[in-house]
């Protein structure tokens, strides 16, 4: 079946190649027109045939039509089944005629119907596009085409691939095409010698498809023994490297989890660690930061959609200010009266936390709010079979370190930081030196809250933006602080990172739930050994 199919397609390709030489040739454009009719067909089967025929036609409009289809922008007019690529504008669609290659006015959305795709059709389209785009002028598109061919490993496209390879001078596109060729060659249609060579080439590759292809050969008992042996060796090569990547991936994921914990905890390290306020509303400050991000993004969407990529950069100070302002208000109205009574701050801030959660629910509604990721934060760097380093995690790690560094700099190098340290160390003496300790308290609480708000910007990228956001992090934040040592920012850093990394190394063995329990129990036992955390404060400050 597969062979017949392949031959059929080979004929089509050759035929199409011939047709290409004579554009406008009657029979070829007939295939193209027939394909268009099939695409507007009702059943997925018809549309599938349409995709294949379109690919075979090699018509210049085929690639644009197929990519519009896979993007969900290909519609047909209900009365004459003519295909259009549309741009949505509310209830009106801008039409573009892909065959003629020109704008075709507008039409109400009701008069058009979408050409539906499902995952099977999507795969077929990607394969077809890969075949069509192998010789595209744009390097990036050729690269994508080669990657698509690697996924489909379709022997029918081998001649086209070989032809494209000959035109490719070198570089990553050529490497990708060679890999795709190996993916085709390892299939059962090739001779054992070719298959063994292909296995070797695949064994050197990092792509998950290589692993899958080799696995399939190893698992197939009907395969020639020598080929299977070569595939097994190549697979082993990949597995060995993969093990290394996995370890690296676990470290990265651990640091990434640690950076999230760090962000969640830094603000608390100030309000709780430095000021001694058991701030149960800390999580809600993070939540306020996340909602500030949402509001900023909404403003961008409404007023300056073209600058959406900058929205997060604007959201960081906005979230800081929103949370800091709230923090000042909270300090002035409630916390101020409770200094020296840390346990009572627990009660009051818990009340504040209830109120804030309900307030957000009332203002923004109880459902999740969408916070988008700008282009530069999306996507991932693929290492090998399943290990990916995602860009947003890298940004969050960098952001968390930057926040920590900024807080440290403020405390160490600014006049406010000096006053803050003075007030925490010895309030009466600081007062005597002319420091207005009341004002410093306000500012310190504002700083802690503001930093929590900035954490909200980062967390909005990976978690729900909902009224419950803060609750998810409050217990963890307190753990980090207590583990690291109250009142010590280095302790927060080391505490967060080690909890994150240890968690990620335990998780694969124990599962996510048990891993977390193990960490908690270990933490309880650790505190027995070092009752003041990793970096214990000495002297009076330790007596909280």
Interaction with other proteins in 151-170: which residues (CB under 8 A)? Answer: 151
| By CB under 8 A, residue 466 contacts other proteins | yes
Residue 139 CB coordination number (10 Å): 12
β-pair partners for 108: 92
Nearest approach in angstroms of CB 463 to other proteins is 5
| By CB under 8 A, residue 512 contacts other proteins | yes
Backbone angles phi, psi at 191, to 5 degrees: -75, 155
Among 337, 376, 413, 490, binds other proteins (CB under 8 A): 337
Nearest approach in angstroms of CB 404 to other proteins is 20
| By CB under 8 A, residue 334 contacts other proteins | yes
| By CB under 8 A, residue 531 contacts other proteins | yes
* Closest C-alpha among 39, 101, 108, 99 to residue 69: 39
- Is the Cβ–Cβ distance between 295 and 323 less than 8 Å? no
Among 57, 271, 461, 488, binds other proteins (CB under 8 A): 461
CA distances from 322 to 150, 317, 464, 502 (A): 49, 8, 19, 34
| By CB under 8 A, residue 521 contacts other proteins | yes
| By CB under 8 A, residue 30 contacts other proteins | no
Nearest approach in angstroms of CB 272 to other proteins is 8
| By CB under 8 A, residue 516 contacts other proteins | yes
| By CB under 8 A, residue 385 contacts other proteins | yes
* Closest C-alpha among 465, 499, 34 to residue 261: 499
Instruction: Return the residues of window 352-371 that contact other proteins according to CB under 8 A.
Output: 352-355, 357-359, 361-362, 365-370
> Whole-angstrom Cα distance, residue 95 to residue 104?
5
Residue 351 Rama label (left phi>0; alpha psi -120 to 50; beta): alpha
| By CB under 8 A, residue 7 contacts other proteins | no
| By CB under 8 A, residue 341 contacts other proteins | yes
Instruction: Return the residues of window 391-450 that contact other proteins according to CB under 8 A.
Output: 391-393
Task: Provide the residue count of the chain.
Answer: 544
Among 364, 471, 537, 541, binds other proteins (CB under 8 A): 471
Instruction: Return the residues of window 204-223 that contact other proteins according to CB under 8 A.
Output: 208-209, 211-216, 218-219
Instruction: Return the residues of window 123-152 that contact other proteins according to CB under 8 A.
Output: 123, 126, 151
Instruction: Return the residues of window 66-85 that contact other proteins according to CB under 8 A.
Output: 72
Nearest approach in angstroms of CB 218 to other proteins is 8
Nearest approach in angstroms of CB 182 to other proteins is 16
Stretch that binds other proteins, among 23-31, 180-188, 340-348, 426-434 (CB under 8 A): 340-348
Which is closer to other proteins, CB of 39 or CB of 430?
39
Instruction: Return the residues of window 227-266 that contact other proteins according to CB under 8 A.
Output: 242, 246, 249-250, 253, 256-257, 260
Beta strand 92-97 with 83-89 is antiparallel
Which is closer to other proteins, CB of 337 or CB of 490?
337
The distance in angstroms from the start CA to the end CA of the chain is 78
Beta strand 112-114 with 83-89 is unpaired
Window 38-57: contact mask with other proteins (x via CB under 8 A): ------x-------------
Residue 92 CB coordination number (10 Å): 13
- Is the Cβ–Cβ distance between 59 and 32 less than 8 Å? yes
Residue 102 Rama label (left phi>0; alpha psi -120 to 50; beta): beta
Residue 21 CB coordination number (10 Å): 7
Nearest approach in angstroms of CB 120 to other proteins is 5
| By CB under 8 A, residue 382 contacts other proteins | yes
Output b/e per residue, 405-421; b: 16+ Cβ within 10 A: eebeeebeeeeebebbe
Among 351, 405, 406, 490, binds other proteins (CB under 8 A): 351
Nearest approach in angstroms of CB 377 to other proteins is 8
Which is closer to other proteins, CB of 31 or CB of 273?
273
Q: Which residues contact 112 (CB under 8 A, 6 or more apart)?
A: 75, 76, 77, 78, 84, 86, 93
Nearest approach in angstroms of CB 343 to other proteins is 6
Nearest approach in angstroms of CB 435 to other proteins is 26
Nearest approach in angstroms of CB 79 to other proteins is 18
Q: Which residues contact 44 (CB under 8 A, 6 or more apart)?
A: 116, 118, 120, 121
């Amino acid at each position: 079946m597969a062979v017949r199919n392949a031959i059929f397609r080979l004929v089509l390709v050759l035929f199409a190649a011939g047709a290409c030489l004579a554009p406008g040739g009657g029979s070829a454009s007939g295939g193209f027109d027939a394909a268009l009719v099939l695409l507007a067909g009702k059943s997925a089967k018809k549309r599938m045939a349409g995709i294949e025929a379109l690919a075979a036609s090699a018509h210049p409009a085929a690639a644009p039509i197929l990519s519009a289809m896979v993007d969900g922008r290909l519609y047909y007019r209900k009365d004459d089944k003519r295909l259009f690529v549309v741009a949505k504008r509310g209830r009106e669609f801008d039409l573009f005629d892909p065959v003629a290659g020109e704008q075709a006015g507008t039409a109400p959305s009701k008069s058009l119907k979408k050409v539906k795709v499902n995952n099977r059709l999507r795969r077929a389209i990607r394969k077809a596009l890969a075949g069509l785009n192998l010789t595209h002028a744009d390097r990036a598109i050729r690269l994508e085409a080669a990657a698509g061919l690697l996924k489909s490993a379709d022997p029918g496209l081998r001649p086209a691939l070989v032809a494209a390879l000959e035109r490719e001078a070198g570089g990553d596109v050529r490497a990708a095409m060679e890999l795709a060729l190996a993916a085709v060659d390892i299939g059962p249609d090739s001779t054992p010698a070719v298959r063994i060579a292909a296995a070797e080439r695949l064994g050197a590759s990092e792509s998950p498809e290589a692993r899958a292809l080799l696995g399939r050969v190893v698992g197939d008992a009907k395969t020639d023994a020598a080929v299977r042996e070569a595939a097994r060796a190549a697979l082993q090569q990949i597995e060995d490297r993969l093990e290394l990547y996995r370890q690296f991936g676990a470290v990265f994921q651990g640091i990434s989890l640690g950076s999230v914990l760090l962000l969640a905890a830094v603000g608390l390290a100030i309000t709780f660690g430095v000021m001694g306020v058991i701030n149960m509303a800390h999580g809600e400050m993070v939540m306020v930061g996340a909602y500030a991000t949402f509001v900023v993004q909404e403003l961008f969407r409404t007023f300056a959609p073209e600058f959406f990529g900058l929205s997060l950069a604007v959201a960081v100070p906005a979230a800081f200010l929103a949370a800091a302002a709230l923090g000042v208000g909270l300090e002035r109205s409630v916390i101020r009266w409770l200094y020296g009574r840390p346990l009572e701050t627990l009660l009051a801030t818990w009340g504040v936390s209830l109120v804030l959660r309900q307030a957000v629910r009332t203002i923004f509604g109880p459902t999740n709010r969408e916070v988008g990721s700008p282009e530069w934060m999306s996507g991932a760097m693929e290492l090998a079979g399943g290990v990916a380093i995602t860009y947003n995690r890298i940004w969050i790690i960098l952001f968390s370190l930057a926040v920590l560094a900024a807080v440290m700099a403020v405390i160490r190098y600014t006049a406010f930081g000096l006053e803050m340290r003075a007030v925490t160390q010895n309030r009466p003496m600081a007062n005597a030196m002319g420091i207005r300790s009341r004002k410093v308290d306000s500012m310190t609480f504002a700083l802690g809250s503001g930093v929590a708000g900035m954490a909200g910007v980062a967390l909005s990228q990976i978690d729900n933006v909902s009224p419950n956001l803060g609750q998810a992090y409050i217990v963890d934040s307190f753990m980090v602080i207590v583990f690291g040592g109250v009142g010590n920012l280095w302790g927060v850093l080391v505490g967060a990172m080690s909890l994150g990394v240890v968690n990620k190394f335990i998780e694969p063995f124990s599962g996510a739930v048990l891993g977390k329990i193990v960490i908690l129990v270990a933490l309880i036992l650790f505190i027995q050994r070092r009752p003041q955390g990793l970096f214990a404060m000495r002297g009076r400050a330790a007596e909280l």
